Structure 1
Amino acid sequence: MSGTEHSIAFGPYSAIITARGGALRELQFQGRHLVVTFGPDGEIPDYRGVICAPWPNRLADGTYSYAGRSFGAALNEPERGTALHGLLTGVEWELRGHTADSVTLAGTVEAGQAYPAGLDVAVTYSLSADGLSATVLTRNTGTETAPYGVCPHPYLVAGSSPLDEWTLELPAREFLAVSAERLLPEGIQPVDGHEFDFRTPRRLGAVKIDHAFTGIVRGEGGLAAVRVLDPAGTGVELEWDANWPWVQVHTADKPAGKDRLGLAVEPMTCPPDAFNSGTDLAHLAPGESHEAGWTIRALS
């Protein structure tokens, strides 16, 4: 069940955050949805809005070695033989603070068979005239150094037109090719000449994406943004800071009736299966913290 939830508002913006998974259930601007929502009861579909930690995306076979020890996590994506999106997506997060325009929730990872150390993972969502800003602050509460990665998992909604008609701007020079059956990494490729090149904004059309992108083109202050625009003139932007060298983009291709409802845009501190490849993996020593932030705002 999605369970307890917390509402916040500022000016034309409003949001609902659930204790389950620290998830962004709803974000509206002047009554217009900016993310794909889900109901207050039942399981969270498609990991909508959750915080994925201590690893984002897929961990092959749910296994990895670290500091000479072997670890194994439950395969929550058994059809592909992977452990998907970490250890906290189904956990009830603790309320740490709640005001009219902000809320802080925290999830706890315990040391054990799946992970070498305890973690305190706190997410703060706050609304302002600039939109919804969020920060994940994670501290190693254990006695061992531990690998770490994180990502949020919102599905953006540009407007009422079908996703195929939206215009996408994605400032990435490279993408991570993946295997067809398991969606596990096979190597980095340039977007030049590829259907995934959206550095110049263009219509999404029928292209299907479920890939991690890197080589991010950044602006002032190391910020980067993905933007989607509806033909009617509405849109939404997700901007992230330099602590996220990757971004996963997914066109939410599903069976008929639930197909392509939004565009998942997930800044990631490391790529899929980083616990095995080591690529851009953070290593948190006891007492050490990691912080990263992002913002979702309406475009018009």
Structure 2
Amino acid sequence: MNHREYRIEGGGYTAVVLGFGATVRELTHEGRPLVVGFGSDEEMPNFRGAFVAPWPNRIADGRYTFDGEDYQLPVNEPERGAALHGLVFGIPWTLVKHTPSTLELACTIEPTAAYPFELSLQVRFSLDGQGFRTDVAASNIGARRAPYGVCPHPYLVGGPSPLDEWVLELPASTVLTVTPDRLLPVAKESVAGTPFDFRSARAIGDVQIDHAFTGLTLDRDGRATVRVTDPALGTGTAMVWDASCPWVQIHTADLPRKPESTRLGLAVEPMTCPPEAFNTGEDLVVLEPGESHSTGWTIAAL
């Protein structure tokens, strides 16, 4: 099993990525943390830095229907009765290539009764003056078409001030409302007039967010950018991606059962599809045998 960790450096950035789960354990710029990390002797807490595939977020009760057949995934979030964050965050990935500023890892999702599809995943992490770039490609190497989605799970850091004081800019016009107990999707609604409207940058305050957003405004280069900054120091962190991820999950990391870990960072998770896409089909990637899908995202210091 690949329990090694790999360090890459470039453009003033340093990242530490684990071979187990392709997990981003640490990311800094000139010594300043851009994400909430964890120690080399710790297990990944609260999915910090996880790589999430072949579905993002939750599937209610772990049940889904695809091509007329019903499947049951393992429920790994028993308190909410959900299959959470895919299948690859807890498996070893194979080293493909490691240079001072790049790292390539690969894994295969083997067919099971719960997910009887065979995918090959390759991820490339790279650092330069533009930031920490992740590029991921998924290929269907099996005999049947496969449902697929992907996202990262970093907790961005604005600065040393409390999260409530950080300023968030989120260019999303639509929020997916959820049930209060299980955080399962209810309906898409406009953010206008709600606590979830951060289209104009403003302080997060005491708002608790664990929602998916869409209706993203893209710049002239076709990119969406989320920015979180600490006004006390003028520092911050940005996350940038293109239209291949039309959704983003935002989470203020409210963890009442873990007060020492609560609201330490802001999870920003660009997603190729929303929660429950295996059942709704909304923005779901379906890979025919031999087909591939690519996407990526960048984290940069502000």
CA shift at 1:2, angstroms?
9.1
Name 1:83's counterpart in structure 2.
83
Matches within 5 A, 1:108-187: 108-187=108-187
Name 1:278's counterpart in structure 2.
281
Q: Deviations over 1:27-68 (max 9, x none)?
A: 100100000001112321111111110000001111111112
Given that 1:139 and 1:290 are in contact with CA atoms closer than 8 Å, whether structure 2 keeps it comes out as yes
Given that 2:56 and 2:149 are in contact with CA atoms closer than 8 Å, whether structure 1 keeps it comes out as yes
- Structure 1 vs Structure 2 CA RMSD: 1.2
Name 2:238's counterpart in structure 1.
237
Given that 1:270 and 1:281 are in contact with CA atoms closer than 8 Å, whether structure 2 keeps it comes out as yes
TM-score by length of 1: 0.98
Q: Deviations over 1:136-185 (max 9, x none)?
A: 10001100001110000000001111100100000000000001111010
User: Partners of 2:94 and 2:299 in 1: how far apart?
Assistant: 23
Given that 2:244 and 2:272 are in contact with CA atoms closer than 8 Å, whether structure 1 keeps it comes out as yes
Q: Deviations over 1:170-219 (max 9, x none)?
A: 00000000011110100101000001000000011110000000000111
Given that 1:177 and 1:189 are in contact with CA atoms closer than 8 Å, whether structure 2 keeps it comes out as yes
| Unmatched segments (≥5 aa) in structure 2 | none
User: Partners of 1:43 and 1:147 in 2: how far apart?
Assistant: 29
User: Partners of 1:233 and 1:2 in 2: how far apart?
Assistant: 39
The code of the aligned residue for 1:30 comes to E
Name 1:292's counterpart in structure 2.
295
User: Partners of 2:237 and 2:76 in 1: how far apart?
Assistant: 31
Deviates more, 1:61-70 or 1:77-86: 61-70
Deviates more, 1:72-81 or 1:41-50: 41-50
Q: What is the aligned-residue identity percentage? A: 55
User: Partners of 1:76 and 1:111 in 2: how far apart?
Assistant: 19
The code of the aligned residue for 1:251 comes to T
CA shift at 1:11, angstroms?
3.2
The code of the aligned residue for 1:289 comes to S
3-state SS in 2 of match to 1:235: strand
3-state SS in 1 of match to 2:159: coil
Give the length in aligned residue pairs: 299
The code of the aligned residue for 1:233 comes to G
User: Partners of 2:21 and 2:158 in 1: how far apart?
Assistant: 24
Matches within 5 A, 1:264-275: 264-275=267-278
The code of the aligned residue for 2:12 comes to P
CA shift at 1:224, angstroms?
0.4
Distance 1:2 1:167, change over 3 A: farther
Runs of 4+ in 1 over 3 A off after TM superposition: none
The code of the aligned residue for 2:289 comes to P
Matches within 5 A, 1:11-26: 11-26=11-26
TM-score by length of 2: 0.97
3-state SS in 1 of match to 2:221: helix
3-state SS in 2 of match to 1:292: strand
Matches within 5 A, 1:41-52: 41-52=41-52
